[in-house]
Amino acid sequence: MAMSNSPAAATRPARLGGFTSRKLAPYLFLAPFVLLFIAFIVAPLVYAFYMSLYRDTLVGGRQFAGAASYIKVADDAKFWGGVWNLVLFGIVQVPIMLALALLFAIVLDRGQVYAKGVFRLGFFLPYAVPSVIATIIWGYLYGPTFGPFTQMAKAFNLPPPDFLSPGAMIFSLANIVTWEYVGYNMVIYYAALKAIPSDLAEASRMDGASPGQFARLIQLPLLWPAILLTIIFSINGTLQLFNEPYLMRALASNTINSSYTPNLYAYSLATKNQQYGYAAAVSFVLGIVIAGASYIFTLITNRRRPEQ
Amino acid sequence: MTATTDIATFGVAKRRPGERRRSRIMLTLLLSLFLVYSFLPLVYLVLSATKTNGDLFTTFGFGFGTKFNLWQNLSDLLARDNGVFMRWMFNSVLYSTVAGIGAAILATAAGYALAKFKFVGRNLLFALVLGAVMIPQTALVVPIFLLLALSGLSDNPLGVILPSMISPIGVYLMRVYIEQGVDDELLDAARIDGAGEFMIFRAIVLPLVTPGMVTVALLSFVGTWNNYFLPLIVLRSPEYQPITVGLATWYQLAQQGGGGGQVLFSIIITGALVSIIPVIVVFLLLQRFWQGGLTAGAIK
């Protein structure tokens, strides 16, 4: 759509001669993307930063407050409580999810199973289910009234499992996210494994390496960029968790409060309380936490990076 | 393909055939367990969509109901709230398709400029685009909503479609793809023949990078289809909302219990089933694009 005006614009300078057109061309090719980028990423960010410097008050309207919002976030137990919830969530969920994905990718790549294609497609299928729908389905499965696990427990005269209790909720959410993304990460690893030249396997077999040694000493170092990418994506996704807890609130409003995750907190500040300035500050600090976590992780792992 | 067979023989070469078969069966069983886990919620969804609302509560979740009620559920679903469900499906298809195609074209043009031209600010721009991946959704969505309201575009589908056409990952993928897949000499030869820059892009570059474009379109299509937060904030009127927002609204209504909420259960479950079919079909049709494309950037 946004391209519609560029044909005329791009061909005109061409007639003026090769020099002009080649100098202008990259800007014309970039223009549609950059325009949207400015309108929907740069401008909102600048606007949010501007808002975060003001305070919305019921009586006095909008007042300049400088860094007051940021100082408040730094000391906001609700915000850091949400971050802490997700750190616990991530420490449990991300390693399990990525380890399963890596194991499946290696096994499927070596062809050590029957019906390879079925597994590859089947594991990926949940990724096609929107997180909203996935949460609704799992919500019914967890359900204390007609959830099948409750039914099974009752049939055997066992106490029904309470997936929605405060202690269990974090695992119930972790399960939904794991279900959605194991296959996605597996596909990333699988394609990276496929890119490893086949003569490496040949050579290491000649040298008498076992399959385990081959995986650990050859495949893992070569997979490292892909693994790092999935870890950064996972840190990013975990700290921004919103859809799953937001919908689970409908089932367990006592367990999931409005500041269960930082994004949930920012959302309720902005929509329920109209505290746009403070919500913007919360989002900015969250962005800094995410960038910081990704950066620190990259630093640590680069130092300990397996030798190639 | 050759890599697979080589590694396969490598892994088992020293073992006896019987041992090899046993390990194959063990691994297949292990992976089958996880396959059951992957399919279980979907099986539950399909089974539940065939039940009456009463059977949902009284019959076993992983079994059939007393009556096959799928067709009735479907017609209830389509009739509910004056047929708003089909409207949501239509919106999702429209937004995702336009965003997918738009994202592919924009990312290809931008990726081409970054890959094949030298200009002031190229590296800075590329770094900014990649940095955008780190920004939390809420930091953008609420200000987008406020800015749209200021410019008179609140509750307008463009507020969902236009932001969804920005794909930083797509720009990155297309840059790598074009750097490797499009020969500089070919472009220079066309220039010597007097072709204009746009002509070169359309006639030479686009046909060479079509597979990469399909991958970017697919990623943006799925991303837009699955998006919930942006349309939740930006779109107020039910007739503009996509399927994720619509179904979630019904779900929350049903959980609150009031206003015939109970009756909604079988309709929501049937709606959830119908809503995931298009994406599954798209994935099955375009398998080779997601299997290669998700990672083009991971290795380079």
pLDDT of residue A273: 79
The mean per-residue pLDDT over the stretch B262-283 comes to 88
Q: Which residue of B has its CA nearest to A221?
A: B299
Interface contact B5, partner A, CB < 8 A:
yes
Do residue A290 and residue B37 have CB atoms under 8 angstroms apart?
A: no
Q: What is the least distance, in Å, from the CA of B140 to any CA of chain A?
A: 6
pLDDT of residue B24: 87
Mutate to test the interface with B, among A36, A40, A109, A178 (most CBs of B within 10 A): A40
The mean per-residue pLDDT over the stretch B195-220 comes to 90
pLDDT tens digits, A229-242: 889 889 888 999 99
Interface contact B280, partner A, CB < 8 A:
yes
pLDDT tens digits, B224-240: 999 999 999 899 899 99
Nearest CA-CA partner of A141 in A168, A172, A165:
A172
pLDDT of residue B10: 47
Mean model confidence pLDDT for chain A:
84
pLDDT of residue A100: 95
pLDDT of residue A212: 77
pLDDT of residue B206: 92
Give the number of other Cβ atoms within 10 Å of residue A56's Cβ: 17
> Chain A residues with CB inside 8 Å of B28's CB?
113-115
Interface of B with A in 97-126 (CB under 8 A): 98, 102, 105-107, 109-110, 112-114, 117, 119, 122, 125
Do residue A14 and residue B136 have CB atoms under 8 angstroms apart?
A: no
Do residue A141 and residue B110 have CB atoms under 8 angstroms apart?
A: no
pLDDT of residue B16: 66
Mean model confidence pLDDT for chain B:
85
Mutate to test the interface with B, among A5, A22, A29, A244 (most CBs of B within 10 A): A29
Closest by Cβ to A111, choosing from B4, B163, B251: B4
Q: Which residue of B has its CA nearest to A35?
A: B166
CB contact at 8 A, A14 and B197: yes
CB contact at 8 A, A211 and A220: no
pLDDT of residue B262: 60
The mean per-residue pLDDT over the stretch A75-100 comes to 94
Q: What is the least distance, in Å, from the CA of B244 to any CA of chain A?
A: 6
Closest by Cβ to A25, choosing from B171, B197, B298: B197
DSSP B238: G
Q: Cα(A8)–Cα(B117) distance, rounded to whole angstroms?
A: 20
pLDDT at B134 over 80: no
> Chain B residues with CB inside 8 Å of A197's CB?
3
Nearest CA-CA partner of B70 in B59, B56, B82:
B56
Higher per-residue pLDDT: B218 or B5: B218
pLDDT at A16 over 70: no
pLDDT at B40 over 70: yes
pLDDT at B279 over 80: yes
Interface of B with A in 37-96 (CB under 8 A): 37-42, 44-45, 48, 56-57, 60-62
Q: Cα(A235)–Cα(A87) distance, rounded to whole angstroms?
A: 9
pLDDT at A287 over 80: yes
Do residue A283 and residue B292 have CB atoms under 8 angstroms apart?
A: no
Query: Of A110-114, A122-126, B156-160, B270-274, which range is least confident?
Result: A110-114
Q: How confident is the model at residue A304 (pLDDT cuts 50, 70, 90)?
A: low
Q: How confident is the model at residue A300 (pLDDT cuts 50, 70, 90)?
A: confident
Closest by Cβ to B295, choosing from A29, A100, A192: A192
Interface contact B157, partner A, CB < 8 A:
no
The mean per-residue pLDDT over the stretch B22-46 comes to 92
The residue whose two tokens read 């802490």 is A84
Give the number of other Cβ atoms within 10 Å of residue B21's Cβ: 12
pLDDT tens digits, B176-193: 889 888 889 999 999 888
pLDDT at A255 over 90: no
Q: What is the least distance, in Å, from the CA of A90 to any CA of chain B?
A: 17
Q: Which residue of B has its CA nearest to A249?
A: B252
Q: Which two tokens stand for residue B160?
A: 């969902």
Query: Of A129-138, A209-218, B143-152, B204-213, which range is least confident?
Result: A209-218
Do residue B229 and residue A242 have CB atoms under 8 angstroms apart?
A: yes
The mean per-residue pLDDT over the stretch A162-166 comes to 88
CA dihedral of A117, A123, A127, A130, whole degrees rounded to 10: 120
**pLDDT > 70 fraction of chain A, expressed in percent and rounded:** 90
pLDDT of residue A174: 95
> Chain B residues with CB inside 8 Å of A184's CB?
294
Higher per-residue pLDDT: A75 or A145: A75
Q: Cα(A185)–Cα(A228) distance, rounded to whole angstroms?
A: 11
Q: How confident is the model at residue A22 (pLDDT cuts 50, 70, 90)?
A: confident
> Chain A residues with CB inside 8 Å of B139's CB?
44-45, 48, 280, 283-284, 286-287
> Chain A residues with CB inside 8 Å of B201's CB?
10, 29
Helix %, strand %, coil % for chain A, to 5?
A: 75, 5, 20
pLDDT of residue A4: 42
Q: What is the least distance, in Å, from the CA of A76 to any CA of chain B?
A: 18
Do residue A107 and residue B290 have CB atoms under 8 angstroms apart?
A: no
Interface contact B129, partner A, CB < 8 A:
yes
pLDDT at A2 over 50: no
For chain A, give the secondary structure using H, E and C.
Answer: CHHHHHHHHHHHHHHCCHHHHHHHHHHHHHHHHHHHHHHHHHHHHHHHHHHHCEEEECCCEEEECCCHHHHHHHCCHHHHHHHHHHHHHHHHHHHHHHHHHHHHHHHHHHCCCCCHHHHHHHHHHHHHCCHHHHHHHHHHHHCCCCCHHHHHHHHCCCCCCCCCCHHHHHHHHHHHHHHHHHHHHHHHHHHHHHCCCHHHHHHHHHCCCCHHHHHHHHHHHHHHHHHHHHHHHHHHHHHCCCHHHHHHCCCCCCCCCCCCCHHHHHHHHHHCCCCHHHHHHHHHHHHHHHHHHHHHHHHHHHHCCCCC
